Amino acid sequence: MTNTLSKSSKNKENKADNNIDQNKRDFMVLAASGVAAVGAAAAAWPFIDYMNPADDVLALSSIEVDLSTIEKGQSITVMWRGKPVFVRRRTEKEIETAKKDDAIKLRDPQKDSERVKDGNDEWLILVGICTHLGCVPLGYKGDFDGWFCPCHGSHYDTSGRIRRGPAPKNMAVPDYKFLDKTTIKIG
Ligand code: FES
């Protein structure tokens, strides 16, 4: 019994390690109580916890996210109303690429500027759910260096817009606002 338990917990740890190793820039954090301030410091949360958010997390109607620890080229994931939300601090190159692609024919046409807050275009906030059938896409992957959904192969760009694969829509931008330069409130 003890052996079975320790084997199963070791498997969970291995799975969590693998997921974290898969992409060191893409961190997972979990808002745990009330109005939660979260940051990259909580990056060690095991992936398994994200799969099973607690009831109190599911119930949160809004969360505050501390952006101060997120560096350029990094992304964290927070849980909001039971869904993952990607908070990505984009590099100049990522912003430039996204803006350049405003001009091309997009499946779900939207300018990059419509997906970020005025004067804060380095911050991209997205509901991290693929618009095809609801998988969670992987950051910094795919043909457009945005996100890639491994379930059926949807590629999103650095603005979270759908660019290739079966997903019909861009990843959604949740309702959020800046409380100050380094804090946003989602919801
Ligand atoms: S759920 Fe993402 S491509 Fe199908």
Q: Which residues are catalytic?
A: 152
Per-residue pLDDT at 18 exceeds 60: no
Atom number in ligand 1 closest to CA 130: 2
Structure confidence at residue 38 (pLDDT): 44
Distance 138 CA to ligand 1 centre (A): 11
Structure confidence at residue 22 (pLDDT): 46
Evaluate whether 154 touches 136 at the Cβ level (below 8 Å): no
Superfamily for 58-186? Answer: Rieske [2Fe-2S] iron-sulphur domain (2.102.10.10)
Atom number in ligand 1 closest to CA 134: 1
Structure confidence at residue 12 (pLDDT): 45
Structure confidence at residue 56 (pLDDT): 57
DSSP single-letter state for residue 123: E
Structure confidence at residue 54 (pLDDT): 56
pLDDT, tens digit (0-9, with 9 covering 90-100), for 115-137: 999 999 999 999 999 999 999 99
Query: Measuring from atom 1 of ligand 1, which residue has the nearest CA?
Result: 133
Structure confidence at residue 137 (pLDDT): 98
Distance 115 CA to ligand 1 centre (A): 21
Who wins on pLDDT, 58 or 6?
58
Structure confidence at residue 55 (pLDDT): 55
| From 126, 129, 132, 148, mutation site for ligand 1 pocket: most ligand atoms within 8 A of C-beta | 132
pLDDT, tens digit (0-9, with 9 covering 90-100), for 50-98: 444 555 555 569 999 999 999 999 999 999 999 999 999 999 999 999 9
Report in angstroms the alpha-carbon separations of 161 from 93, 109, 165, 168: 16, 8, 12, 10
pLDDT, tens digit (0-9, with 9 covering 90-100), for 133-185: 999 999 999 999 999 999 999 999 999 999 999 999 999 999 999 999 999 99
Evaluate whether 158 touches 90 at the Cβ level (below 8 Å): yes
Structure confidence at residue 53 (pLDDT): 52
List, chain by chain if needed, residues with CB within 6 Å of any ligand 1 atom: 130, 132-135, 149, 151-154, 165-167
Distance 102 CA to ligand 1 centre (A): 23
Name the pLDDT band for 114 (thresholds 50, 70, 90): very high
Structure confidence at residue 84 (pLDDT): 98
How many beta carbons lie within 10 A of that of residue 47, not counting itself?
15
Atom number in ligand 1 closest to CA 152: 3
Name the pLDDT band for 49 (thresholds 50, 70, 90): very low
Task: Name the strand (E) or helix (H) holding 93.
Answer: helix 92-100
Structure confidence at residue 15 (pLDDT): 43
